[in-house]
């Protein structure tokens, strides 16, 4: 029997199950609580108005992925398990998440309609429904419909010769109910209209129709207003926009696949037509039409979402991008550079003198691009090795790798083809790299290569005058992506430490040869030793505490779900270790429980930038061990991905990581939330006489290139 795996499926992990163990919080509910915290940014009147709208769009995008992956996985498991003993727990989990999702969506649209849009209108920015448009605007919209929209539409009246059409994942569609007979004398009553994806979802009206401001119309609103023009001679009884969300995980047959890239290219086509898991319709959609669609897609009624607005709120980001009023956005921010890198000196000569720590987005990612680009043109460089997880459609770094290959250097790139929702971009880059002469491999089937590594090998004059190979490396917590490096907080280390860089090379040799990696003194590598090393370090702090000495753990990550790590933290807490966790998203650990976790505190920071860095700190009898990592403390990261945690060895850089990556976040009383033992999150506020303190604002001022006077408390 063929073995198919879904590499990131954590739904069978005990911490993902509602009621599996009262010591652990439910993963899905914790993930939804993160979206509550993001939505709180949209509710905050101190946040600029367009940014508040952007936060609403982010919540919608997060919910899309939540349904495409998490809910889809739970549903698949419930069907597989059938009448097993665990099915009631799964059913309860699905019901709880359904209730919470409906509440979040209801709050989203209430914020949009009652707060955000009215305030935008007061700022002379209008999102016009048909009833809001004046005669001139309606005339322009009708002309736009006739010239730009109608020619691309294909209304399908349903009958035996015209069955219900294939509906793409998350696409905009319309259902129409009609009275009367069609042109052939038949009583066809239902039609489906699919909105072409080439059409913009937000259309800006000419400035002359919006004096003193800007006016926009949604594509759905324009089609709604002119549905009658598509069915001449028929009476329109009811209509509604609708959108279906489908299971979007890709499945690969480990035993039979011969070429992962070819297999994925085929799978990408089927992703658009996976099992339907959610239906969104307009709130005005009649119940019988909603039920017709539910039946058509095989979706349960509790996964129907009737919304008062566009069924895809994410598309409102198109409107944000077209508004020029800077006062409605966050003030512009220019990242800084370490002073010794700001003078254009040879980067390899600088790294011989000292390691460079970069803290993004407060400091520019450009030195990392320059590191690879310099290697591409350096005649002494003989080889470049690189991992790629997410890099986007446009990337100067990837172009530099292509140039290096074209110039005859040995270029080896490990491209992770299974990076969810970036598969197509990565396949395209893999093809371009191979055509340039680079060696491209796809990691290990069944494991995602999530480590962030770059290695440059130069031939340099040795002490005896003969040439010798010298290694230079970049290790990071975030992706080599030109957009996310400006929006996500991450650390990157550029180093010429030969012991550390040699181990980076061993990781590359391990991934290409598939042989067992050598014993490493510095790097913690998943799926082999990372979890063991984390638990060993936790146990070491517990042993120190049992001897009556101060013991402390501080860790920052995106998610904390691995049960074994959580159990070790509970044991360390009982032994007296002070544990402070900064967890952006889902957290299954229940803090502050007497006898279990009273020495553990958990907080989350939600601000202008997405917190993405992973930092592990262990006091270790004043050794102050600091590790930066690509891995969260999740089962998938520790056992089903190739991940690397690396030590910060330079004492001054170690202090920087603590002083920039941990201490400010523990002090934050503006963008911080604390997790209670009941599983609820509470927004932190300054105590009486205490000044507001935002970690991100502090770092922008300390590391950015612009004047401190440009920034507000947010």
What pLDDT digit, counting tens, does each position of 625-676 carry? 999 999 999 999 999 999 999 999 999 999 999 999 999 999 999 999 999 9
Same domain for 515 and 656, yes or no, is no
Average confidence score pLDDT of the chain: 89
CATH assignment of the domain containing 555: 3.30.870.10
476 within domain boundaries? yes
Q: What is the pLDDT of residue 536?
A: 98
Contacts of 499 (CB under 8 A, 6+ apart): 521, 522
Which residue positions form the known binding site for Mg(2+)? 390, 420
Angstrom distance (rounded) from CA 386 to CA 411: 8
For the chain, what is the domain count?
3
Same domain for 506 and 547, yes or no, is no
Same domain for 147 and 160, yes or no, is yes
Angstrom distance (rounded) from CA 121 to CA 170: 28
458 within domain boundaries? yes
Same domain for 83 and 105, yes or no, is yes
Same domain for 568 and 675, yes or no, is yes
Retrieve residue 556's tokens: 């920052």
Retrieve residue 342's tokens: 């700001």
Same domain for 510 and 543, yes or no, is no
> Beta strands 452-461 and 448-449: pairing type?
unpaired
Q: What is the pLDDT of residue 709?
A: 37
Q: Which residue has the tokens 């396949």?
A: 427
440 within domain boundaries? yes
7 within domain boundaries? no
Same domain for 116 and 145, yes or no, is yes
Same domain for 283 and 355, yes or no, is no
**Is 650 or 268 the better-scoring residue by pLDDT?**
650
Angstrom distance (rounded) from CA 135 to CA 150: 20
5 within domain boundaries? no
For residues 285-313, average pLDDT: 96
Percent of the chain with pLDDT over 70: 89
Q: How confident is the model at residue 80 (pLDDT cuts 50, 70, 90)?
A: low
Same domain for 43 and 54, yes or no, is yes
Percent of the chain with pLDDT over 90: 75
- Which of 493, 522, 551 is a domain's end point? 522
- Which of 298, 328, 358 is a domain's end point? 328
Q: What is the pLDDT of residue 245?
A: 96
For residues 125-152, average pLDDT: 96
29 within domain boundaries? yes
Contact 582, 556 (CB under 8 A): yes
Which residue positions form the known binding site? 62, 390, 420, 488, 584, 612
* Domain enclosing residue 31, as ranges: 19-328
Contacts of 56 (CB under 8 A, 6+ apart): 39, 42, 108, 111, 112, 116, 313, 316
225 within domain boundaries? yes
Angstrom distance (rounded) from CA 691 to CA 685: 10
DSSP category for residue 581: E
Q: Whole-prediction pTM value?
A: 0.91
CATH assignment of the domain containing 114: 3.30.1840.10
What pLDDT digit, counting tens, does each position of 349-395 carry? 999 999 999 999 999 999 999 999 999 999 999 999 999 988 888 88
Strands (E) located in 323-376: 356-360
Q: What is the pLDDT of residue 518?
A: 87
- Catalytic choice (226, 450, 474, 698): 450
DSSP category for residue 70: I
2 within domain boundaries? no
Same domain for 47 and 81, yes or no, is yes
Angstrom distance (rounded) from CA 544 to CA 436: 54
Identify whether 450 is a catalytic site residue: yes
- Which of 469, 489, 522 is a domain's end point? 522
Q: What is the pLDDT of residue 341?
A: 72
Q: How confident is the model at residue 344 (pLDDT cuts 50, 70, 90)?
A: low
Chain Cα centroid distance, residue 322: 24
């Amino acid at each position: 029997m063929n073995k198919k795996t879904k590499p990131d499926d954590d739904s069978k992990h005990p911490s993902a199950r509602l009621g599996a163990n009262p010591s652990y919080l439910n993963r899905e509910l914790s993930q939804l609580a993160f979206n509550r915290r993001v939505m709180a940014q949209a509710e905050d009147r101190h946040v600029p108005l367009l940014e508040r709208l952007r936060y609403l769009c982010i919540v919608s995008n997060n919910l899309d992925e939540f349904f495409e992956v998490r809910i889809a996985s739970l549903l698949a498991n419930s069907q597989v398990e059938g009448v097993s003993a665990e099915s009631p727990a799964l059913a309860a989990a699905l019901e709880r998440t359904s209730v919470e999702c409906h509440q979040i969506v209801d709050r989203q649209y209430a914020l949009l309609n009652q707060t955000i849009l009215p305030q935008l209108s007061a700022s002379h920015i209008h999102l016009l429904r048909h009833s809001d448009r004046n005669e001139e605007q309606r005339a322009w919209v009708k002309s736009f419909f006739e010239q730009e929209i109608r020619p691309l539409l294909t209304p399908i009246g349903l009958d035996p010769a015209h069955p219900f059409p294939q509906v793409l994942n998350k696409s905009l569609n319309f259902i129409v109910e009609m009275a009367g007979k069609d042109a052939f004398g038949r009583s066809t009553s239902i039609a489906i209209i699919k909105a072409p994806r080439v059409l913009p979802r937000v259309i800006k009206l000419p400035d002359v129709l919006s004096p003193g401001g800007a006016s926009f119309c949604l594509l759905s609103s324009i089609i709604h207003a002119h549905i009658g023009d598509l069915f001449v001679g028929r009476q329109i009884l009811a209509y509604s926009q609708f959108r279906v969300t489908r299971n979007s995980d890709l499945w690969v047959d480990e035993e039979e696949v011969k070429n992962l890239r070819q297999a994925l290219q085929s799978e990408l086509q089927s992703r658009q037509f996976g099992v339907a898991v959610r239906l969104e319709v307009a709130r005005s959609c009649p119940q019988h039409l909603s039920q017709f669609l539910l039946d058509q897609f095989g979706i349960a009624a509790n996964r129907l979402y009737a919304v008062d607005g566009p069924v895809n709120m994410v598309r409102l980001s198109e409107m944000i991008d077209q508004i020029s009023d800077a006062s409605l956005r966050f003030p512009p921010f220019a990242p800084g550079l370490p002073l010794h890198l700001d003078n254009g000196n040879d980067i390899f000569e600088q790294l011989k003198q000292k390691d460079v720590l970069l803290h993004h987005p407060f400091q520019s990612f450009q030195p990392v691009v320059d590191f690879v680009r310099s290697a591409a043109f350096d005649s002494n460089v003989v080889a470049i090795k690189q991992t790629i997880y997410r890099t986007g459609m446009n990337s100067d770094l990837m172009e530099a790798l292509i140039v290096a290959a074209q110039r005859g250097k040995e270029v080896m790139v490990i491209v992770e083809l299974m990076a969810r929702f970036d598969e197509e971009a990565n396949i395209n880059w893999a093809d371009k790299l191979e055509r340039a002469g680079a060696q491209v491999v796809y990691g290990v089937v069944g494991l995602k290569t999530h480590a962030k590594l770059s290695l440059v090998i130069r031939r340099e004059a040795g002490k005896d005058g003969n040439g010798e190979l010298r290694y230079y490396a970049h290790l990071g917590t975030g992706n080599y992506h030109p957009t996310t490096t400006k929006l996500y907080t991450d650390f990157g280390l550029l180093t010429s430490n030969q012991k550390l860089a040699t181990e980076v090379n061993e990781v590359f040799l391990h991934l290409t040869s598939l042989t067992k990696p050598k014993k490493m003194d510095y790097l913690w590598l998943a799926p082999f030793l990372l979890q063991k090393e984390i638990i060993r370090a936790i146990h070491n702090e517990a042993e120190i505490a049992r001897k009556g000495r101060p013991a402390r753990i501080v860790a920052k990550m995106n998610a904390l779900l691995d049960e074994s790590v959580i159990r070790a933290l509970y044991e360390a807490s009982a032994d007296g270790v002070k544990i402070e966790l900064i967890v952006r998203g889902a957290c299954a650990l229940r803090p502050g429980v007497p006898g279990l976790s009273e020495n553990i505190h958990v907080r989350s920071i939600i601000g202008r930038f997405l917190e993405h860095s992973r930092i592990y700190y262990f006091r270790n009898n004043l050794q102050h061990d600091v590790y930066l990592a690509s891995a969260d403390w999740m089962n998938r990261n520790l056992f089903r991905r190739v991940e690397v945690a690396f030590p910060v060895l330079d004492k001054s850089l170690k202090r920087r990581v603590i002083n920039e990556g941990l201490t400010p976040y523990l002090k934050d009383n503006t963008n911080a939330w604390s997790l209670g033992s009941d599983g609820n999150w509470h927004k932190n506020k300054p105590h009486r006489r205490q000044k507001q303190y935002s970690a991100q604002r502090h770092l922008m001022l300390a590391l950015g290139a612009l004047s401190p006077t440009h920034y507000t408390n947010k």
